[in-house]
Copies of this chain bind each other. A is one copy, B any other.
Amino acid sequence: MRPLVEIKRNILEKNDLEADRLRDRFNAAGCYVTNWISSPGSGKTALLEETLRELIKRGESAAAIVGDMATALDADRLSRSGAMVKQIETIGCCHLESDMIINVVESWDLSQYNFVFIENVGNLVCPSSYDLGEDERVVCLSVTEGEDKPLKYPSTFMAADTILVTKIDLAAAVEFDRDALLSNIRSVTQQPTLFETSAKRGIGIEAWIDHLIQRRIEKVTPVQV
């Protein structure tokens, strides 16, 4: 059998090529794309639902692609926001790959959407190796998971453009140590964009939505020379 390292390298190289194709499509259509990674149960679906709802309220158009091992529970939740939502049931695969995303967007007119959100399979390890053609990699971490997670999953946090600390309303109940988390984040990655949020209580949502809208404007505005 061929060494596993080589097999994995081939898979990742193939994915990178497909991610570049995806990025070209997203760029041509003016879509701002985020890829959301977290542990199961970190609250990323709740926060994404809130994000879609707020963007639509502000007149933005948005679509979401949701990866899950099984069930369409998350897609059903996200559809309540009024956004276009498509479920990918990965059936045993622990992460999303670019070809799965291509299969979905092939039948879409991407120019209809200012934003495309990709909610990865709940897994803090494997999804971080797969580029999905996104503009921004978002890692969600709930205050209930423990402040040590950036140290224990450094590759995932190193690859994050933005860290969304979730369930901040539970901070007191779990004796969340904010300084320890920030220090651990800083020890694996320099100056990530960070928002502290609670989808349940609406905390931090406005700043996060402002950030997304601003980033899309920067993306689609031609550079003045």
Contacts and interface: CB of A to CB of B under 8 A. Distances in A.
Given A92-B155, A170-B174, A173-B170, A148 B70 contact: no
Interface string A37-69: 001111000000000000000000000000011
A144 interface: yes
A193 interface: no
Contacts of A1: 2, 7, 10
Contacts of A152: 40, 68-71, 73-74, 122
Contact of A39 (B41, B71, B126, B148): B41
B94 A148 contact: no
A204 interface: no
A124 to B, nearest CB: 5
Nearest to A92: B155
B151 A73 contact: yes
Interface of A: 1-2, 4, 7, 10-11, 39-42, 68-71, 73-74, 92, 94, 121-126, 142, 144-146, 148-149, 151-155, 167, 170, 173-174
